[in-house]
Amino acid sequence: MRVIRIFDTTLRDGEQSPGASMNVEEKIQIARQLVKLGVDIIEAGFPIASPGDFDAVKRIANEVPGAVIAGLARAREEDIKRAWEAIRDAPKRRIHTFHSTSDIHLKYQFKVSREEALKRSIEMVKYARSLVDDVEFSPMDATRTDIPYLIEVVEAVIRAGASTVNIPDTVGYTSPEEFGRLIKAIKEKIGEKAVISVHCHNDLGLSVANSLAAIQNGAGQVECTINGIGERAGNCSMEEVVMNLVTRKDFYKAKTNIRTKEIIRTSRLLTRITGMQVQPNKAIVGANAFAHESGIHQDGLLKEKMTYEIIKPSDIGLKETELVLGKHSGRHAFKTRIKELGYELTSEEIETAFDKFKRLADQKKDIFDEDIEALVSEGVGRIPAVYSLVDLSITSGMSVRPTAALKLKVKDKIIDSVEHGDGPVDAVYRAIVAVTKTKSRLLKFEVKSITGGTDALGEVLVSLEEGSRKARGQGADTDIIVAAAKAYVNALNKLAARKR
pLDDT tens by residue, 110-148: 999 999 999 999 999 999 999 999 999 999 999 999 999
How long a stretch of residues is the chain? 500
Supply the DSSP string of 100-164, one letter for each residue.
E-SHHHIIIII---HHHHHHHHHHHHHHHHHH-S-EEEEEETGGGS-HHHHHHHHHHHHHHT-SE
Instruction: Supply the CATH classification number for the domain 387-499.
Output: 3.30.160.270
The answer to whether 362 and 355 are in contact (CB under 8 A) is no
Task: Cite the residue boundaries of each domain of the chain with CATH code 3.20.20.70.
Answer: 2-274
SS3 271: helix
**2-274 CATH choice from 3.30.1490.20, 3.40.50.720, 3.20.20.70, 3.40.50.2300:** 3.20.20.70
Which pLDDT score is estimated for 336?
Answer: 81
Prediction pTM value: 0.82
What is the rounded distance in angstroms from the CA atom of residue 21 to the CA atom of residue 14? 9
The answer to whether 99 and 124 are in contact (CB under 8 A) is yes
Share of the chain above pLDDT 90, in %: 64
pLDDT in tens, 78-89: 999 999 999 999
Range with the lowest mean pLDDT among 60-74, 212-226, 386-400?
386-400
Q: Which residues in 326-386 belong to E strands, given as ranges? A: none
pLDDT in tens, 167-192: 999 999 999 999 999 999 999 999 99
Which of 119-145 are b and which e, b meaning 16 or more Cβ less than 10 Å from the residue's Cβ?
ebbbebbebbbebbebbbbbbbbbbbb
pLDDT in tens, 415-453: 999 999 999 999 999 999 999 998 888 988 888 877 777
Q: Which of 55, 22, 25 is nearest to 381 (CA)?
A: 25
Residue type, 440: S
Q: Which of 407, 406, 436, 402 is nearest to 421 (CA)?
A: 402
Q: Residue 324: pLDDT above 60?
A: no
The answer to whether 283 and 240 are in contact (CB under 8 A) is yes
Task: Cite the residue boundaries of each domain of the chain with CATH code 3.30.160.270.
Answer: 387-499
